[in-house]
Structure 1
Amino acid sequence: MKKLFFCLMGLCLSVQAFAQRYSFDHGPYLQELTEDGATFVFTTSAKGVSWVELRAADGTLSRHYALEDGLRDAYTTFNAIRVENLSPATRYEYRLGSKEIVDFQPYKVTFGDSIVSRWYAFSTSDPHAERCSFIALSDMHQQPEKLGRLLSLAGVESADRVFYVGDMMDYYADERMPFESFIDKSVEMFATERPFVLVRGNHETRGDMARSYARYAPNTSGKYYGAYRIGDVMFVVLDCGEDKPDDFWVYAGLTDFDAYRTEQAEWFAELIRSKEYRSARWHVVMNHFPPLSDTDDGAPEGHGVREITAKFLPLYRKAGIDLMISGHMHRYQFLDPEERSDLNFPVIVNSTESVVRADIDGRTMKVCVKGLDGGTIKEFTVSR
């Protein structure tokens, strides 16, 4: 520790002058938790080299680094470390480790402090599980306290997954924004043990840092969209893109979401024909935009929803969907297939003040939507 000395009116004083100690800043939180792997995301206060230590039930310890092309990730503050070859349905303990790098020269690296975190715990997915609970909400727009309230109302402590279905921020222009908007609150409440799944909304495509948003939700496919099988449940996450046409002036000619939605529609068409998809008992789809709109007046803001309706709705009708959850409209709506001829699956459109919880047990899925006041907005059961 360094000290500064100075004299004032003949009296020498000693002042502890010391830069912030090397520490873990944000996280850890889990991503892409599967039956045989998990990704651990966290940041440090200064650049260093970091790792994750795993402890199995028999006490066996292993250390893991982020590795690419023979090089361990180093001289960075942001860490995403993937660990694979784990056992299914197994509990592990983990902790973080890091060593500060104070100077990085071609032939000499100078290290500073070394730190370790406390132990945390998680369990890998059970491929044979018949029970699964999940929570979904959207459109928090940088309101972590509201997020925390809704997570509590939905019983996040007993949920297996949390889905953030878009627009958790207004835009992305500062690397602290995702943490301050929703990640830090998630870590505080559940994300050290159970993952959240990030569904990109149209607001997360905005801002000068939007092109690096994916690093906060790393996955092995490298895509925002994908399919995740947990026991008998197939979750599908789609990436809606922007709500207005690509040539709309505010995008400055820097978007091509029409082609991107076509890419996803082609992928989804292949997915629903796959054995893995067809063999799942339950099919749940998350997309920030609803599949259609009852209030479309042809305005530019409705372009994205119209694209979803044109390119995806015919596929949705063939996909055997049991539940779809979306947001974007900032008002709650339930699209009931028993009351409509244009849908054959239920759709919950989340508001800015509602949260969905679903509990699947064998051939029954119970769904409950709660409002910010704690009241129940909607309850229903789906049977298979």
Structure 2
Amino acid sequence: MEQELNALPRRAFLGNISKAGILGSLAAFLPGSSSAEVLQQLTAKPAEGHIFLTKPYLQVPAPDGMTVRWITNKLCYSWVEYGEGNNLNQKAHQVTAGLVDAHNRINKVALKNLKPGTQYSYRVVAKEIVDFKPYALKYGETITSDSYSFTTPKLNPETVEWLIMNDIHDRPESIPHLMKLNGTDNYDYVFYNGDLFDYQTDEQQIIDHMLTPSAFSSTKPFMFVRGNHETRGKFCRELADYFSNKDGKGYFAYQWGPVFNVVLDTGEDKEDTHPVYAGIVDFDDYRMEQAKWLEEVMTSSAFKRAKFRVVMMHIPHFHSGDAHGPLHVRELFAPIFAKHKVDIVISGHTHKFGVWPPSAEHPYPIIIGGGPRDGNRTLIKVKADQKTLNLTMLKDDGTEVGKYSLKA
């Protein structure tokens, strides 16, 4: 059986997690250091001990694999204990170029060679490294999380169901609130379609405003693509260290049952030369890189054979104003979408939810989720089988504010 989603790890961390909040101010006294770097330089007080700063959270679901991530407050050697059913009889750690990942706090272990459509139990273990000399390593305290479970996707599932949230904008209470709107309906995963934050401040913001509120993520995976606000702030370049995407990029494609999904990182909404960016962004080239990749993906046999072809990206290329970002996205992606007969595009960004049916400009529907204020937040639910894809958009009071259906 799955563990209760709100269960705490064996060493309770909620009372300690706020201590890491001092890191933002500490970084100010160490010029050039991010909060994550500051934390690595500190030695925690003995009374604090060794603790988990997050529960484990699941990424990159596949029929034969699942990636487990978690964060500790001390530098460690960490691993996952897992097995089929209720067993924990296997161990996995991450190896990079012959070196086992260690002496780090931000942990990632990709479980491989799993069986499709199978339930697995797992827990994470972290052994503190208190001294790391070239030929003498000294371990400290070992901590172990509670056990959780997940089920790998089937090899060729007949159906897929997922939930989409966007434009949370540092309002962490919105995540559990919107998740409750799903009730007891099944879902395979959650997709965060950008602007979970106003701008990137430090590690604690990621923990408090995304990972901890995503209580489901120890048993159900989530995927994440940046919005334009995730490209801002002093910690934006470290953001990717906390998430895993297929192929390790900010844009990616994957198939789950009858749906082939394409995820695009639409970047910023202003010109690269805008003074606020101080000359240190280049999103035009990044979007052109994606357009080249997109053409290759959409000419693949898997894309062509799929019952449904869905694009998810933060900035919609229509119905989002005439700023440089949306217009550049339109220039690059719209011809490719039309040429390869995309079925539906799902976005956010405008803070005005809506459903725009196919038109002369875009021969496919565009769905835009709302947010971030009360009364404008939305949960998008998508369910597809071999014949039909149904999308429903719920406002934060549970009322339906949009729907669309497609036939294969």
Bigger radius of gyration: 1
Counterpart contact for 1:138–1:351, Cα < 8 Å: yes
Task: Provide the C-alpha distance between the structure 1 equivalents of 2:46 and 2:85, rounded to a whole number of angstroms.
Answer: 41
Question: Are positions 1:310 and 2:310 aligned together?
Answer: no
Question: In the alignment, residue 201 of structure 1 is paired with which amino acid?
Answer: G
Counterpart contact for 1:154–1:370, Cα < 8 Å: no
Aligned partner of 2:360 in structure 1 is 341
TM-score (norm. length: structure 2) = 0.85
- Pick from 82, 85, 97 the counterpart of residue 110 of structure 2: 82
Aligned partner of 1:256 in structure 2 is 282
Question: Are positions 1:242 and 2:261 aligned together?
Answer: no
- Structure 1: segments with no counterpart, 5+ residues: 1-16, 297-301
* Secondary structure, aligned partner of 2:325: helix
Question: In the alignment, residue 72 of structure 1 is paired with which amino acid?
Answer: V
Q: Aligned-pair distance for 1:35?
A: 1.0
Note the alpha carbon deviations across 1:141-200, whole angstroms, 9 max, x for none: 0111112111211348621111111000011120111121111111x2x11111111011
Q: Aligned-pair distance for 1:18?
A: 4.4
Note the alpha carbon deviations across 1:91-117, whole angstroms, 9 max, x for none: 111111111111222222221111222
Question: Are positions 1:98 and 2:126 aligned together?
Answer: yes
- Pick from 131, 134, 137 the counterpart of residue 159 of structure 2: 131
Aligned partner of 1:8 in structure 2 is none
Aligned partner of 1:3 in structure 2 is none
Task: Provide the C-alpha distance between the structure 1 equivalents of 2:378 and 2:246, rounded to a whole number of angstroms.
Answer: 31
The range that moved more, 257-266 or 210-219, is 210-219
Aligned partner of 1:140 in structure 2 is 168
TM-score (norm. length: structure 1) = 0.90
RMSD: 1.6
Task: Provide the C-alpha distance between the structure 2 equivalents of 1:152 and 1:323, rounded to a whole number of angstroms.
Answer: 26
Q: Aligned-pair distance for 1:127?
A: 2.4
* Secondary structure, aligned partner of 1:176: helix
Aligned partner of 1:271 in structure 2 is 297
Counterpart contact for 2:246–2:252, Cα < 8 Å: no
Task: Provide the C-alpha distance between the structure 2 equivalents of 1:69 and 1:147, rounded to a whole number of angstroms.
Answer: 37
Q: Aligned-pair distance for 1:295?
A: 4.2
- Pick from 356, 369, 378 the counterpart of residue 350 of structure 1: 369
Q: Aligned-pair distance for 1:21?
A: 2.4
- Pick from 18, 33, 46 the counterpart of residue 74 of structure 2: 46
> Superposition pairs for residues 1-384 of structure 1, below 5 Å?
18-57=46-85, 59=87, 61-155=89-183, 158-186=186-214, 188=215, 190-219=216-245, 221-293=247-319, 295-296=321-322, 302-337=323-358, 340-352=359-371, 353-384=377-408
Question: In the alignment, residue 62 of structure 1 is paired with which amino acid?
Answer: Q
Q: Aligned-pair distance for 1:24?
A: 1.7
* Secondary structure, aligned partner of 2:238: helix
* Secondary structure, aligned partner of 1:33: strand
Counterpart contact for 1:56–1:92, Cα < 8 Å: yes
* Secondary structure, aligned partner of 1:221: helix
Q: Aligned-pair distance for 1:137?
A: 1.5
* Secondary structure, aligned partner of 1:312: helix
Task: Provide the C-alpha distance between the structure 2 equivalents of 1:174 and 1:158, rounded to a whole number of angstroms.
Answer: 34
Counterpart contact for 2:88–2:121, Cα < 8 Å: no
* Secondary structure, aligned partner of 1:208: coil
Counterpart contact for 1:293–1:305, Cα < 8 Å: no
Q: Aligned-pair distance for 1:62?
A: 1.3
- Shift in alpha-carbon separation, 1:143–1:60, aligned structure 2, 3 A: closer
The count of residues paired between Structure 1 and Structure 2 equals 359
Note the alpha carbon deviations across 1:286-341, whole angstroms, 9 max, x for none: 10010223643xxxxx100000111100111123322211011111121111xx21
Q: Aligned-pair distance for 1:380?
A: 3.0
Deviating runs (4+, > 6 A) in structure 1? none
Q: Aligned-pair distance for 1:257?
A: 0.5
Q: Aligned-pair distance for 1:249?
A: 0.5
Task: Provide the C-alpha distance between the structure 2 equivalents of 1:331 and 1:241, rounded to a whole number of angstroms.
Answer: 19
- Shift in alpha-carbon separation, 1:156–1:317, aligned structure 2, 3 A: farther
Task: Provide the C-alpha distance between the structure 2 equivalents of 1:147 and 1:253, rounded to a whole number of angstroms.
Answer: 34
Note the alpha carbon deviations across 1:233-259, whole angstroms, 9 max, x for none: 111110001110000001011011101
- Shift in alpha-carbon separation, 1:239–1:156, aligned structure 2, 3 A: farther
